[in-house]
Structure 1
Amino acid sequence: MAGSRMKLELSRVVQGKSRLGVLKGLGRTGKHSLEVPGCLLYTHFGTVPHLTQDTLHTLSNLPSVTQVTLSHIAEHQEVLEEFKDGFWKFAGLHDTVVYCSLHDPGAPCPTGYTTNKTVSVWGSGGRIELTVDRFMALQKTVKPDWYHSMADGETWQNNTSRKRVRKSVDRTLAHLDECLLVHQKSQELEGVEVFGVVEGGDILEERLRSAKETAKRPVAGFCLDGLQTGAMDQNLRTQLITAVTKELPEDKPRLLQGVGRPDLVLACVEAGVDLFESFFPFQVTERGCALCFCFDISPDPERAVLELDEERDAAGETKQNGDVNLDHQTQMTSFEINLKDKRYKDDFGPLVEGCGCYCCKNHQRAYLHHLLVTNELLAGVLLMIHNTAHYHGFFGALREALASDKLDLLKRRVLRERKDLDG
């Protein structure tokens, strides 16, 4: 495998951990880049849920990296093999970088199906078992710009034994070595980057072993797995990430799987994470909710914050913020408003005052409420436009805060309602 073209250039590191920079040399041509901290574009089979390519491109500043998952692609392997030109062309993903991961971060993944030789993914037709050979055959068919190696990620439940965690680390390293062996001999994967997966459940020494060993391999970056929302509390997550990132090379990106809530993103960036998957706006959309939290760090955002606070108090929303909760996919958070609520029936304001997205510029909350209660498909389209724009706007504010020493201010803005809650 030739040396990696992908390179992380850091412009500053705040308090020894939070990293601001640009990931350069992405894609086969190497002309794409991605700012960090940043997030990927979340898709189902190459399409952002609810949106067509045209509606998607009403949004500006979209990330240059599109995430696709084998859980959506594996069952279409024969069609893609016949097509021959790779998934990006098949799905019309021109001028974007394709990153292929194993599981869909926005969907629950059943456990208990991993063996020494296989991992399983779930498509619409049920379970598909992947050996390393089949996994690598899929990568050759998909022809992504980068993918993460096959991994045993089934140790994120709290009661996993130390023995099982150790086995998961051993298996994941063995899978990585096998994947690299096939990769290096494969013409189809020339110029494609591999990310190694760091496992280890909630056991610090296994996490460190996984990180150190993975860092010895010729990988372009690292996926931190088994730390997703619902798996552990944030203090433990921070502790483990902080320890792991110390063992990883400075010039390679760290992608965290399965964490999307804004407060958790902030904590993980402070622990040294660079990249996130952006499935959170999709989950919020599926609940019939709109993201509505403040990340304005300009000189006088007090009014905006007060308005948002009043908004939430008036809404009397249930604020569910528990982190260790395996049903987290369906739980509403304090960062969103529930537009199915009757109080929005006569609310003729935009979803978020001052938001420049198509939905907020053209439609009122009352209209969204109407679409939701009558089960109109347009509700999902408009909510997804707003939620995607709001979420990517938050990442823009996060980078700006790191550049201008305003991270504490941003945290106060984003976490304001959490203090009221925890107080």
Structure 2
Amino acid sequence: MTERFSFRLDATDGRARTGAIDTPRGRIRTPAFMPVGTAATVKAMLPENVRATGADVLLGNTYHLMLRPTAERIDRLGGLHRFMNWDRPILTDSGGFQVMSLAGLRRLTEEGVTFKSHIDGSKHELTPERSMEIQRLLGSDIVMCFDECPALPADRDRIARSMRLSMRWAARSRAAFGDRPGHALFGIQQGGLEHDLRAESAEALREIGFEGYAVGGLAVGEGQEAMFGVLDFATDQLPENKPRYLMGVGKPDDIVGAVARGIDMMDCVLPSRSGRTGQVFTRHGQLNIKNARHMDDPRPLDEACSCPACRNYSRAYLHHVFRSQEIISSMLLTWHNLQFYQDLMAGMRAAIAEGRFAAWQSEFHAAREQGDIDPM
């Protein structure tokens, strides 16, 4: 077992990459999808079942955990890994995005952000130094810089000011992170949809120096075409020998397009949130289990899937338990969606390693264009 954090590239196919991140808590195979465990749990899943889908790493949320149960309490109880019974790598976000999107009455200054909790209205302050302290108390393996993420669309001046503030905060995050062998700090590139602002941000981050680099400020309302347009140049502005992480993405075709453009890591609440609302991802696209067409259907969601929902239960049963608001519905549909996402990543890793990623992409899109199986 390694005592350090390291990244290696094993193969490339076009701009798509496959490799591995090694941490003291285990290996993360890339490209990797990170299920989101916002409040120290992937909703409706046991940790060992998340692992059984093929997940190598989870994401925890600094903003939510600092408010409840608090980072100090988690630290006293042995750290986030022990607290949530997940012994593999954890990445924690910085809290910046949630402060901007969830918190009330926030005030932004050079120092940081003061805000009121969305839970009870209590007042808090997040600065780069405090974000690093919280993530240290949580004990996460991969720590994210504290940044500001403006929603798009926004005018160029607003994006430029925000990006430069985030770069100053990145330098403060690096200084506050200190020397933590075995742990990694990732910088976050900002700059909206602007090529020159993204380049300026990437240059500032490279000068500071990080163990990995994230593409931030996307999947915030700009649409897939604009996001891919940024990824067409943004990944190449980041170091080739470090992991590249696209934050908050996404739908299956978003993920495939991001990997095709050189991204190594992604996270999104979509597979788990969709499972709880009856939205199901399959090789043939998305389906809604509450639709009446599934009521008498004895077939599985996806005959090629190995998850318990597909192995042991029919569409008719899954339709019934969803309509009856039974807890098992969230459990089975979330497990299926997470399995689909991890199978997607495994398929891409194999295709890149074997030099057939373009063909794999064509097959992926062709299967989705077929649509769901015909009704009974």
Fold agreement, TM-score > 0.5? yes
* Residue aligning to 1:6: 5
8 A Cα contact 1:208 1:247, kept in partner: yes
Bigger shift: residues 255-264 or 121-130: 121-130
Count of aligned positions: 364
**Poorly superposed stretches of 4+, deviation over 6 Å:** 104-108
In 2, the alpha carbon distance for the partners of 1:107 and 1:417 equals 39
Tell me the amino acid that sits aligned with residue 345 of structure 1: M
Q: 197, 204, 215: which is aligned to 2:206?
A: 215
TM-superposition CA deviations, 1:205-234 (whole Å, max 9, x none): 111110111011131001111111x52233
**Who is 1:153 aligned against?**
149
Q: Runs of 5+ in structure 2 lacking a partner? A: 372-376
- Is 1:23 the counterpart of 2:21 in the alignment? yes
User: Which of 149, 161, 166 is the aligned partner of 2:160?
Assistant: 166
The correspondence for 1:285, drawn from 267, 275, 287, is 275
Determine whether 1:254 maps to 2:244: yes
Q: Output the CA distance in 2 between the equivalents of 1:78 and 1:204.
A: 37
Correspondence for 1:136: 132
Answer yes or no: is the 8 Å Cα contact 2:128–2:145 preserved in 1.
Answer: no
Aligned residue among 276, 279, 286 for 1:336 = 286
RMSD of aligned C-alpha atoms?
2.7
Structure 2 residue corresponding to 1:234, chosen from 224, 240, 243: 224
Q: Secondary structure at the match of 2:208?
A: coil
Preserved contact between residue 20 and residue 36 of structure 1 (Cα < 8 Å): yes
State the TM-score, normalizing by the size of structure 2.
0.88
Q: Deviations over 1:260-311 (max 9, x none)?
A: 1111112111211111114221132132122112xxxxxxxxxxxxxx4xxx
Gaps of 5+ in 1: 294-307, 309-334
State percent identity of aligned pairs: 22
CA distance in 1, matches of 2:282, 2:6: 34
Counterparts of 1:4-403 in structure 2, within 5 Å, are 5-15=4-14, 17-24=15-22, 26=23, 29=24, 32-56=26-50, 59-63=52-56, 65-75=57-67, 76-77=69-70, 79-80=72-73, 83=76, 85-94=78-87, 96-103=88-95, 109-110=101-102, 113=106, 115-116=108-109, 117-119=111-113, 124-125=119-120, 128-154=124-150, 156-158=151-153, 160-184=154-178, 189-228=180-219, 231-293=221-283, 308=284, 335-403=285-353
In the superposition, the TM-score normalised over structure 1's length comes to 0.79
* Residue aligned with 1:170, SS: helix
Cα distance change of structure 1 residues 21 and 114 upon mapping to structure 2, 3 Å threshold = farther
Deviation, structure 1 residue 61: 2.4
Shift of 1:45: 2.1
Decide whether aligned partners of structure 1 residues 340 and 62 sit closer, same or farther in structure 2, where only a CA change above 3 A counts.
same
- SS across alignment from 1:5: coil
State the shift of 1:240 in Å: 1.9
Instruction: Give the letter for the 2:212 counterpart.
Output: G
Specify the code of the residue in structure 1 equivalent to 2:234.
V
CA distance in 1, matches of 2:53, 2:370: 34
Distance 1:99 1:54, change over 3 A: closer
Q: CA deviation at 1:52?
A: 2.2
